[in-house]
Amino acid sequence: MAILIPLVFLFSYFFIRKIWFQLRKIRTVGTIERIELGYIRPNLILPEVKVHYKYYFQSGLYFGSGYLSLSDFLPTEDFHLHLGPGENPILYVGDMEIITEEHIEHYLLSKGGSVFLYLDPIEPYHSRIDTVNLNSITVPSDLL
């Protein structure tokens, strides 16, 4: 019984701490800088991509990276990704064929150019990707 009371206090401390850290997180938008495909050599491409992003918080510019699934960028479309001749990745989306990593990156950026992030306001360089923002953000122009 003497060991049970300190364990209850310890578990309750960690539980309250976890809830406190989750409640103080702020959801913000970050722009995607680069998308990298993941490889396992010699001939396998991972279904995850590494996303490099930047975001502004208070008076600073912060950079981060994280992993997302390809299906997050293409939620309603069937796709297939494999290595072709010369170890060039090939992405098949519907009846479209996209060759080379640069073209695949451009295509994925056209689908979602920003991500939603959770960041800690006390340590804003600690951020975590939540989801891809599939809605386009445009600014109207009166130049015409």
Domain presence at residue 126: yes
What's the pLDDT at 144? 53
pLDDT tens by residue, the chain, 144 residues: 778 888 888 888 888 877 877 777 888 899 999 999 988 877 788 889 999 999 998 888 999 999 999 989 998 889 999 888 888 899 999 889 999 899 999 999 988 888 999 888 877 778 889 889 887 666 666 655
pTM of the shown model: 0.77
Domain presence at residue 60: yes
Domain ranges, residue 58: 25-133
Domain presence at residue 7: no
Domain presence at residue 8: no
Three-state SS for 94? coil
Three-state SS for 112? coil
What's the pLDDT at 103? 93
Domain presence at residue 142: no
Tokens representing residue 67 in the block: 């992993």
- Angle of CA points 127, 131, 134, to nearest 5°: 130
Q: Looking at the 3D structure of the chain, how many domains does it have?
A: 1
Domain presence at residue 143: no
Closest Cα to residue 53, out of 72, 70, 36, 71?
36
What's the pLDDT at 142? 65
